[in-house]
Amino acid sequence: MEGAVRTVRGSNMTLAQRAWNIRRKALLMGEVQGQGYIGQALGIADVLAASYFHALEYRAEDPEWEGRDRFLLSIGHYAIALYAVLMEAGILPEEELETYGMDDSRMPMSGMASYTPGMEITGGSLGHGLGIAVGMALGLKRKKNPALVYNLMSDGELGEGSTWEAAMSGAHHKLNNLICLVDFNNQQADGKSTEMLCSEPLEAKWEAFGWHCQRVDGNDLNAVVAAFDKARAVSEPKPRVIIFDTRMCKGVPFLESREITHFVRVEADEWSKALAVLEEGKPQ
């Protein structure tokens, strides 16, 4: 328990506090523009906290350090969530928060590799992150670089054929330096993922494709951390996937209970209300 909630990055801030900070920063950015994929950001905040404050190797002052673990945001529309954790990690300066989504900002609404330090790929065209991750992982292996490649993708991307081609080739090349993270929020543009194009039984599917697979509650920090640790410790020569079941809008109950859609509507006066509600749940 203790090991799971405490960050390994030289501060005594807990992962729960990090996740809360990520949610707060994402809400502040959403408030700036009056919109944003906030449901996704609130849902994935725990996974991002564990990624950047427990699992990944990187140097905040040198985002292109050759030895860094690569974190690919296949889902470009989750950019607001990644900016929040990049700021929390010190890779992006917090002063830029208010520029989110503006002309000339380094933080456009969809993730763009050429704009933002720490944004490894331009990922808005869904279904391509895993293929890029396979190529990167293969390249790192050939260069004898021990860095890991993490690819964060969505449940909607499980409906893309390119995802499964990439999965097959990752296993073929025995990419034990590749960890795929699936945000299973059971939502996509037109409704619930399980009703649009059901990918179940998901664990059996990944395993049949030759991957080591785990499935955990993505809003349970202890389970998330344990899954990262296990994924890194696997000795079999195969790529690893962790499916995170997450809850959209997690941490802001009045949004959680709203009829959840891909683009959660937040009225102009509700951003400050959401921040106030989040404040009530601030971890000690």
Q: Where along the sequence are the contacts to ligand TPP (CB under 6 A)?
A: 40, 75, 77, 124-127, 154-157, 185, 187-189, 262
155 binds Mg ion (CB under 5 A): yes
* Secondary structure E strands in 155-272: 178-184, 212-217, 240-245
Maximum distance among all Cα pairs of the chain, rounded to whole angstroms:
53
Number of alpha carbons in the 13 Å side-chain half-sphere of residue 184 = 19
Task: Name the pairing type of β-strands 70-73 and 212-217.
Answer: unpaired
Binding at 124: pick from Mg ion, ligand TPP, none (beta carbon under 5-8 Å per type): ligand TPP
Work out how close the CB of 202 gets to Mg ion at its nearest, in angstroms, rounded to a whole number: 13
Q: How far apart are CA 186 and CA 207, in angstroms?
A: 20
Q: Which of residues 188-227 bind Mg ion (CB under 5 A)?
A: 188
Cβ nearer to Mg ion, comparing 154 with 214: 154
**DSSP symbol at 9:** S
Work out how close the CB of 165 gets to ligand TPP at its nearest, in angstroms, rounded to a whole number: 14
Work out how close the CB of 73 gets to ligand TPP at its nearest, in angstroms, rounded to a whole number: 11
Cβ nearer to ligand TPP, comparing 192 with 232: 192
Binding at 239: pick from Mg ion, ligand TPP, none (beta carbon under 5-8 Å per type): none
Map tokens 């009056």 to a residue. 34
Work out how close the CB of 60 gets to ligand TPP at its nearest, in angstroms, rounded to a whole number: 27
Q: How far apart are CA 87 and CA 72, in angstroms?
A: 16
Work out how close the CB of 193 gets to Mg ion at its nearest, in angstroms, rounded to a whole number: 6
Nearest to 217 by CA among 82, 50, 20: 50
187 binds Mg ion (CB under 5 A): yes
